[in-house]
């Protein structure tokens, strides 16, 4: 693991997710940019001191020398380090599980795509919400034609934790997220807009081709956006809107998706993740709950009997389970099952950067339509 030291957020969640299905063992880490903190962080979770490294280059080089060296890396640092760390890991033959956004520029993302292909490595980008059974079921429902021709896509990711200048209080996670040197050129756009964007393509099965966007900063003095609103033109003529905001008072993790087709619609609310609502045109709305989500990929992403709530940890764990299945399939020279291939991969991460790039170009050009590259 690179990142995920004491006081950090997502690294600990990755450690839980990796263990949930008994497919991974944490063997080494470079947990912090501060060597003393890196050592203390690793020892505190039971790693031997010699495998708690002061830097990621040292970790990769040392692990490569060991018989029992690490085989997979989880990159859970702030955004600006994703590509540099992934590059070194790929060069040393490690498979990669990396946080989003994949990189801080489209050029960096493209370079990773080339390198991973040349090295023939597995590469997952942890768009966590793609691990929910309800989302996988929705994806299969759309692919089955149950909605007819897709016409309208509405997606929003609304939070309120940056409604004040939290970054001025020493808050660790807020601090780097509004610093372009660490977050990249996008604030809320990169942090949560990329999740919303990913869900559109993941569930809808069609690509966003053009965007017309306004990027805005509400909190005075903040260097990056905390709010973005984007109109979408999608493959095949569908239209949509994406709204991502970290200043939406009263909202916590309100990631909501609605898709409307010529024969029906679906609705998903991340804060009620065991549920999916499906309305065939002219018929009553069906409230599908986990247990009734019987598509193969939803069933493969379910652990507990219906009625025992599953949630965000399980969704992240699903991406680890998918990855493990892909890893074993490669080792055994067999074709992996479709449910494992449903995991978000390097291309999805690259498209997130294409989205950021297009939104910023659109905004800077005066909110006009631009194509994704």
Which of residues 191 and 348 has its CB atom nearest to ligand NAI in the complex? 191
Question: Residue 275: beta bridge partners?
Answer: 289
Q: Which is nearer to ligand NAI, 32 or 295 (CB)?
A: 32
- For residue 97, the minimal CB distance to ligand NAI (Å) is 11
18-37: which residues touch ligand NAI (CB under 6 A)?
30-33
Which helix H or strand E contains 62, and what residues bound it?
A: helix 56-64
Beta bridge partners of 268: 257
How many binding residues for ligand NAI (CB under 6 A)?
A: 26
Residue whose C-alpha is closest to residue 124's, from 24, 45, 205? 24
For the CB of residue 173, give the shortest distance to ligand NAI in the complex, in Å: 4
Judged by CB, which is closer to ligand NAI: 60, or 276?
A: 60
> Does 91 help bind ligand NAI (rule: CB under 6 A)?
no
Q: How far is the CB of 176 from ligand NAI (least distance, A)?
A: 6
Structure-block tokens of residue 318: 């699903």
For residue 3, state whether it binds ligand NAI (rule: CB under 6 A). Answer: yes
| Spatial separation of the C-alpha atoms in residues 115 and 105, rounded to whole Å | 16
Instruction: Name which of 55 and 296 has its Cβ closer to ligand NAI.
Output: 55
| Cβ at position 73, least distance to ligand NAI in Å | 11
CA atoms of 38 and 250, how far apart (whole Å): 36
Angstrom distance (rounded) from CA 101 to CA 356:
9
Coil vs helix vs strand at 213: strand
Query: What span, in angstroms and rounded, lies between the C-alpha atoms of 52 and 37?
Result: 10
> Binding marks (x or -) toward ligand NAI, 125..164, rule CB under 6 A?
-x-x------------------------------------
172 binds ligand NAI (CB under 6 A): yes
Of 28, 52, 56, 245, the residue at the interface with ligand NAI (CB under 6 A) is: 56
- Residue 334 C-beta: closest distance to ligand NAI, Å: 29
Q: Which of 267, 135, 244, 261 is nearest to 197 (CA)?
A: 244
> What DSSP line would sit under 141-195, residue for residue?
HHHTTTT-SEEEEEEEEE--TTSS-GGGGT-HHHHHHT-HHHH-S-SHIIIIIHH
Which among 2-10, 110-118, 345-353, 357-365 is the span making contact with ligand NAI, rule CB under 6 A? 2-10
2 near ligand NAI, rule: CB under 6 A? yes
| Residues 235-264 interacting with ligand NAI (rule: CB under 6 A) | none
User: Does residue 167 belong to the site contacting ligand NAI (CB under 6 A)?
Assistant: no
Burial 33-55 (b: 16+ CB within 10 A, else e): eeeebbbbbbeebebeeebbbbe
Among 191, 251, 325, 348, binds ligand NAI (CB under 6 A): 191
Is residue 287 helix, strand or coil? strand
Identity of the residue, 130 or 213, whose beta carbon is nearer to ligand NAI in the bound complex: 130
**Cα dihedral 289/321/202/93 (nearest 10):** 170
Minimal distance in Å, beta carbon 182 to ligand NAI?
8
Of 222 and 260, the one with the shorter C-beta distance to ligand NAI is 222
Enumerate residues 6+ apart whose C-beta is below 8 A from 125: 98, 99, 100, 102, 344, 345, 346, 348, 349, 352
Please give the residue ranges that form the binding site for ligand NAI (CB under 6 A). Answer: 2-5, 8-11, 30-33, 56, 76-79, 81, 99-100, 126, 128, 172-173, 176, 191
């Amino acid at each position: 693991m690179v990142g995920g030291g004491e006081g950090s957020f997502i690294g600990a969640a990755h450690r839980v997710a990796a263990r949930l299905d008994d497919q991974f063992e944490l063997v080494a880490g470079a947990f912090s940019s501060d060597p003393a903190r890196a050592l203390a962080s690793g020892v505190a979770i039971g790693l031997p001191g010699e495998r708690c490294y002061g830097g990621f280059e040292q970790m990769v080089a040392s692990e490569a020398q060991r018989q029992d060296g690490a085989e997979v890396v989880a990159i859970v640092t702030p955004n600006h380090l994703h590509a540099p760390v992934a590059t070194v890991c790929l060069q040393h033959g490690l498979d990669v599980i990396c946080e989003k956004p994949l990189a801080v520029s489209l050029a960096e993302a493209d370079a990773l795509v080339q390198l991973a292909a040349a090295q023939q490595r597995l590469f997952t980008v942890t768009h966590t919400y793609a691990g929910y059974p309800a989302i996988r079921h929705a994806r299969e429902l759309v692919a089955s034609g149950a909605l007819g021709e897709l016409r309208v896509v509405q997606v929003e990711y609304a939070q309120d934790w940056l409604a004040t200048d939290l970054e001025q209080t020493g808050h660790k996670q807020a601090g780097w997220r509004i610093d372009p040197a660490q977050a990249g050129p996008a604030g809320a756009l990169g942090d949560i807009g990329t999740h919303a964007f990913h869900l559109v393509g993941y569930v809808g099965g069609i690509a966003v081709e053009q965007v017309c966007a306004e990027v805005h900063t509400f909190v005075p003095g903040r260097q990056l956006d905390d709010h973005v609103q984007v109109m979408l033109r999608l493959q095949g003529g569908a239209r949509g809107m994406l709204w991502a905001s970290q200043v939406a008072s009263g909202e916590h993790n309100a990631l909501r998706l609605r898709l409307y087709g010529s024969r029906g619609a679906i609705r998903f609310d991340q804060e009620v993740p065991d549920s999916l609502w499906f309305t065939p045109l002219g018929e009553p709305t069906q409230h599908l709950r986990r247990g009734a989500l019987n598509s193969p990929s939803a069933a493969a992403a379910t652990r507990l009997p219906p009625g025992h709530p599953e949630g965000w940890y399980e969704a992240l764990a699903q991406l680890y389970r998918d990855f493990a299945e892909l890893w074993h399939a490669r080792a055994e020279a067999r074709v992996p099952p479709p449910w494992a291939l449903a995991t978000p991969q390097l291309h999805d991460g690259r498209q997130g950067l294409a989205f950021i790039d297009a939104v910023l170009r659109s905004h800077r050009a005066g909110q006009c339509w631009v194509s994704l590259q």
